[in-house]
Amino acid sequence: MKRARKRARANKMGRSENQHIILRVVAKLLIPLIAVYGLYVHFHGDYGPGGGFQAGVIFASSIILYALIFGLDEAKRVVPPSWIRVIMTLGGLVFGGTGVATWLLGGEYLNYTMFAPDSTHAAGQHWGIFAVEIGVLLTVTSVILAIFYAFGSRGGSRRPNNAPNLSDEDKS
């Protein structure tokens, strides 16, 4: 009984404010580091292991960690689901658009050499892969988040975005 009353009070004050202080502080320290590490993996992909796919997962996991600690609604306020759909598409279009750009430059689809045909050290390939990887990063990040949101909010896309979440308040 006592615990239930305590929880109710905590709910009134905003559950995440009072509980899990250690988790919150540590997460606040870690989240930017994870995000930066994601970007490091992304840009390092040019020279070593890494690239948009792995970086996208790492970057998305920083936001997922935020959602785990501060709640899904908070996370949705930071990265709204409507953005995710746009970013998802944008990533695909950046990738595909790189190919269209090479078409316009007169090469085959995704023939990156067209970006710098005179380069002796394949600079075109470098720029092409760079552009394509940004598309991959955007799409992978947003798809991972979309999957997490879809599972997390149970109702999936059926429910409007501003509908109340299934939390303690709803149950009482």
Binding residues (CB under 8 A) for other proteins: these are 85-86, 88-89, 92-93, 96-97, 99-100, 103, 107-113
The CB-of-107 to other proteins minimum distance in angstroms stands at 6
Nearer to other proteins, 74 or 108 (CB): 108
**CA–CA separation, 47 vs 45, rounded Å?**
5
Nearer to other proteins, 63 or 129 (CB): 129
**CA–CA separation, 91 vs 21, rounded Å?**
36
**CA–CA separation, 125 vs 116, rounded Å?**
8
Nearer to other proteins, 40 or 109 (CB): 109
Nearer to other proteins, 11 or 111 (CB): 111
The CB-of-90 to other proteins minimum distance in angstroms stands at 9
The CB-of-109 to other proteins minimum distance in angstroms stands at 4
Nearest to 132 by CA among 59, 56, 52, 55: 52
The CB-of-61 to other proteins minimum distance in angstroms stands at 23
**CA–CA separation, 83 vs 85, rounded Å?**
5
> Among all chains, which residue has been given the structure tokens 């090479």?
102
The CB-of-132 to other proteins minimum distance in angstroms stands at 10
What is the four-CA torsion angle of 83, 89, 90, 93, rounded to 10 degrees? -170
DSSP code for 158: G
Nearer to other proteins, 39 or 110 (CB): 110
Phi-psi region of 118 (alpha: psi -120 to 50; beta: other; left: phi over 0): alpha
